[in-house]
Each structure stands twice: as C-alpha cells, then as structure tokens.
Amino acid sequence: MRRLDIAAMFGSLWLLASMLIDVVTPKELTVYMIGAAIAPATAVCAILYWLRVPTIDFAVIFATLWMISAMAIELITPTPLSPLLTVVALAPMVIVGIAINILYWLRPIPLPSAET
C-alpha cells in the first residue's frame, strides 16, 4: 500500500509542478516539455522517499535535482526565461543550506574527546 501512496503523491506533485511552471514560463514552453524535464527528478525523489532516506539527505538531494531540472528547462526553452525563474531554481538550495546551519547551531555535533 505504501508504494501506491508514494506513486500517487509524487505523481500529483509532478503534475502540479509542471502546471505551475507552465504558467510562469513563456508560451513556447509547453507543459509537456516541462513535464519531461522534471520527470526524472521526481522519479528519483520518489524512490529515495520510498527507501526512507534521512530527511536532511533527502532535502539536499531534492534541492540539487530541482536545480538540475531548472537547468534542463532553461536548455529546452526557445526564448530566454525571466530572472524570477533563476530565483525559484536557487531557492531550495538556499533554504536547505539555511536549515542545515540552523540545525547545526541548535544541536552542535560533539567533537571526539582526546582521552588517553
């Protein structure tokens, strides 16, 4: 049952992301082109979620895959994209970096003691 739930969840997220990106991009870039560009990243994220990868690792991988998908969309579009899309592509990486630093400050990793 968990496999079906994950497939439905990530399929819905893939479709929603494709449609949202289609709204903010030029008309030359269709939802089908966008869907094809972000499908591999969505599939990898679904597999990692199913394998129960730790949260921080999953967030870093998701942010990296999102950035790669944004680069792929930039490559396939016939017209230049707006600078706002650059901000959208970089936002997950910045948010994950901030979250990791905040978590580190709240729970510092103890250094090994030099006991003799």
Sign of CA dihedral 44, 34, 6, 63: positive
Cβ 39 vs Cβ 14: under 8 Å: yes
Instruction: Read off the pLDDT of residues 24-72 as tens digits, 9 standing for 90 and up.
Output: 888 888 999 999 999 999 999 999 999 999 988 999 999 999 999 988 9
Predicted TM-score (pTM) above 0.85: no
For residue 80, pLDDT beyond 90: no
Every domain of the chain and the residues it spans: 2-106
Residue 83: band (very low, low, confident or very high) from pLDDT cuts 50, 70, 90: confident
